[in-house]
Structure 1
Amino acid sequence: MKLMSILSGQGFVMYNKQLAKSVSVNAAIIFGQLCASYESFNNKGMITVKDTKEYFFLTSDTLEEETALTYKQQLKAIKDLEQANYIETKLMGVPSKKYFYITDKIIQELFDEAKFSSDKREDLEKSSDQEVVGQKVTPSYDERETLGITKGNSKPVQKGSSIKKKNKKEKDKNKKDKIDNYQEPIINSHDPDEFKALLLEATGDFYTQFAIGRWSKDDWNKLMKRFVDETIQSGRYENIPVDKIKGYAYVSIKNMADHSDYKKSEEFKEYKEVMEQLASNNTSTYLPFYASNFLEDDNDELPY
């Protein structure tokens, strides 16, 4: 049974083991998908060049579909890659989307690794050649040394095994120190600038679902900007964790869409006619605050 052929039919993400060890496993998975997406966008001529850097965009939904990593896992992995200088990100476009740029760091590391392997191979070849020459030039010396060994000491002391054990212990200790001292990078959702960027990016994922047929692009951008600014200014963002930002954006935008649909409905039209008739008859038009605040056509408050 050809297992690799069967598995490849379900799709693979390129995975660099060295990157997984130096940064994190999830970061290596995300980086592999970014490299694959860059190749795809580049072949289709869909690369955006800004300040001599080649950018391309991917949504969190696409990354989740391709890698099975959740939104929160993606945020941490992307932050790890940025801090390690493997990628750069930038919010661009209308509606705003997160664009990625892959730096030259990984290429340089692969080049250095290949150069190191080549140099090491040359050193081994030279060492082997010198050893052969030495054996040919001084065979009599080796024989004399063997004959001169006293009885009871027929074999020289082997130190290689103990050196290997010592080196292994030191490596294990260094690895343990790294694990013990490792601190998970903190994504601070209560930083207003960071939260604003994340929330604005999350709203862009729902443009197709809610904006088309309701708002123009310009109206959508104004509404989303106002929504994000109001969330920051009101201090509401302080109670929203990172992994809930996308859900918060969805519920808020859905409420806005429902509100917009109602104001264009026949029910709201009839309501306005009744209110106008009552007003012309000098009849009280008092409604509870929460009702009037939602129904009045000139209300500028966002319903979330």
Structure 2
Amino acid sequence: MPTGFIVKALSGYYYVLPEDSQSAESIQCRARGIFKKRGISPLVGDRVIYQLTENGEGTVDEILPRTSELVRPPVANVDLVVLVFSVDEPALNLPLLDKFLVHTESAGLDALICLTKHDLLADSREHGGPLELESVIKLYESIGYTILVTSAKEGVGVDKVMDQLSGRISVFAGQSGVGKSSLLNAMVPGLQLETNQISMKLGRGKHTTRHVELIRLQNGGIVADTPGFSQLDFLQVDAEGLGGCFREFAPFAAECRFRGCLHLHEPGCKVQEAADAGLIAATRYENYLQFLGEIRDKKRRY
């Protein structure tokens, strides 16, 4: 039977792009009932075995092994997560960025931090915006992350993002209103994804993307545009594994006195000592403690 990969999931249908076809047309499919009985669902990005039905549609019969799986956004077989955050409107949210990075690290995926709306910096110079941005870039680059500053409006940095996506399956993620769809529109001529201005009253954007969909790039890359959101739950990260999602903790955690140290108040904790000495950024350690509290509270509730 033929194979393909799911490029869109919408209203109970899965749109499968055949692997052995040069056509850009996908086949509208239903999933077999056996998936529901097994408690699993096909995801956008899944490679699947399907078969055609008499009405020209199809059925998804089997999901091939996944190399990766994200819970939110729900997408499979991703190589790279592009975390899109704006420098302003909405304001750069470092706790949320760190939360996204925890989920990315826990899934074992590479992350690219993309800071959009560079064109707004000129209006924020009097408020110290550029200086703050430089310190943020320096911090995350020192940890080992790649950061690109872009402006879809001015065309700044768009080519650099394209280069990072070449030949890879990537997912764009971030809160609403940061410019994910605008950036994709700048990368794919004629795409015309719906965009909306941020609500100045609420300080956040509207959800212009309503489902996960894969978009082909001219350089062989494939990108998943996803609905924006501002909250993440720690569904698959436990307290013991959280520290491993902070890259800069690793060299210090290896020297902690106790195995399974939570870096909270244990004696001989080298991560705490490093944070106190300024070797770990205060914002990162504070966010770690906040996330640890959220995970432990969730565990107590259940």
TM superposition score category, shorter chain reference: under 0.3
Decide which structure has greater helix share: 1
Which of these two proteins has the greater Rg computed from alpha carbons?
1
TM-score under structure 1 length normalisation: 0.21
